Amino acid sequence: MAEKNISMAVIRRLPKYHRYLGDLLDKDVQRISSKELSDIIGFTASQIRQDLNNFGGFGQQGYGYNVEALHNEIGNILGLNKIYNAVLIGAGNLGQAIANYAGFRKSGFEIKALFDANPRMIGLKIRDFEVLDSENLESFVEENNIDIAILCIPKNGAQDVVDRLVNVGVKGIWNFAPIDLDVPKGVIVENVNLTESLFTLSYFVQRHLVFVKKNENVEENNYAASLK
Ligand code: NAI
């Protein structure tokens, strides 16, 4: 399917479409209109039609969308039709939590090894993995066809590790370290920051409190509407 230049905002919404459509498939729902999808996902029906039109549109007037076809197609667009080999660097609290979550593997992201620089961590068993010495990162990446690195180390040293990974051909960095990484063209960094997400929550919580205080009789739903 020919893809136009897709805006980042649309790309950011695709995983959500994929997840909700997966839930519908689990419930054996075979087709759905943009209006019904809108009620579930919360985007407007016209937004949904516009988003999906970017990829040629999968809906048919009067029929709606075929849930399975749409789920598969969005999965293909997201590149979920293959297995990605990953290494995880930094086997501390966060690294272990990620390594212990089985869902990534189910979605096609296969963590092949965990690495750490701390001699006390090296050799520890975490899930199916023995933590490896990060001195040996390059040879492992080269020998195991690694696509993605998951970075769970402090910001000091993170750029060095990334430079080493990029040198041996890693193309995607899932970055949890609180640092803006420099990478050459062709390498993609996806930053994840739970603290930023928490701060966004804090903004809305305190705004809600102020709103409720000012409008003692206002119902909760009106507050939600006021944010749109
Ligand atoms: P931690 O101290 O438990 O684990 C960090 C591990 O990285 C340690 O085992 C350490 O030996 C290892 N390490 C440090 N430098 C290394 C290097 N150059 N090469 C290989 N291994 C190295 O820390 P925690 O709590 O797991 O946090 C790890 C990082 O993730 C921190 O930068 C923290 O700020 C960040 N973080 C980010 C979150 C997010 O939402 N983005 C959420 C939680 C933590």
- Convert the pLDDT of each residue in 81-125 to its tens digit: 999 999 999 999 999 999 999 999 999 999 999 999 999 999 999
DSSP 127: T
Strands (E), the chain: 31-32, 59-60, 64-66, 84-89, 109-116, 125-126, 129-130, 132-133, 148-151, 172-175, 188-191
pLDDT-derived band at 212, boundaries 50, 70, 90:
confident
Q: What is the pLDDT of residues 143-169, one digit of tens each?
A: 999 999 999 999 999 999 999 999 999
The atom number, within ligand 1, closest to the CA of 94 reads: 26
pTM recorded for the entire structure: 0.89
To test the ligand 1 pocket, which listed residue (152, 160, 165) has its Cβ within 8 A of the most ligand atoms? Answer: 152
Mean pLDDT (the chain) is 90
Higher per-residue pLDDT: 30 or 1:
30
Calculate mean pLDDT across residues 10-14: 94
Task: Report how far residue 10's alpha carbon sits from residue 14's, in angstroms, rounded to the nearest whole number.
Answer: 6
Calculate mean pLDDT across residues 185-200: 96
Q: What is the pLDDT of residue 220?
A: 54
pLDDT-derived band at 228, boundaries 50, 70, 90:
very low
Q: Which residues line ligand 1 (CB under 6 A)?
A: 89-95, 115-118, 121, 134, 152-155, 157, 161, 176-178, 192-195
Let me know: does 94 contact 152? Beta carbons within 8 Å: yes
CA–centroid distance, residue 192 to ligand 1 (Å): 13
Calculate mean pLDDT across residues 13-25: 96
Q: Distances from the Cα of 214 to the Cαs of 207, 211, 217, in angstroms?
A: 11, 5, 9
The position carrying tokens 């905002």 is 9
Task: Report how far residue 77's alpha carbon sits from residue 57's, in angstroms, rounded to the nearest whole number.
Answer: 13
- Our measurement of the distance from residue 227's CA atom to the centroid of its chain's CA atoms, rounded to an integer in Å, reads 25
CA–centroid distance, residue 92 to ligand 1 (Å): 6
Which long-range contacts (C-beta less than 8 Å, at least 24 apart) are formed by 200-204? Answer: none
Q: What is the pLDDT of residue 30?
A: 94
Q: Is the pLDDT confidence value at 222 over 60?
A: no
Q: What is the pLDDT of residues 130-150, one digit of tens each?
A: 999 999 999 999 999 999 999
Q: What are phi and psi of 217, to 5 degrees?
A: -95, 5
CA–centroid distance, residue 177 to ligand 1 (Å): 7
Task: Report how far residue 159's alpha carbon sits from residue 89's, in angstroms, rounded to the nearest whole number.
Answer: 12
CA–centroid distance, residue 28 to ligand 1 (Å): 41
pLDDT-derived band at 216, boundaries 50, 70, 90:
low
CA–centroid distance, residue 93 to ligand 1 (Å): 7
The atom number, within ligand 1, closest to the CA of 158 reads: 18
Q: What is the pLDDT of residue 217?
A: 59
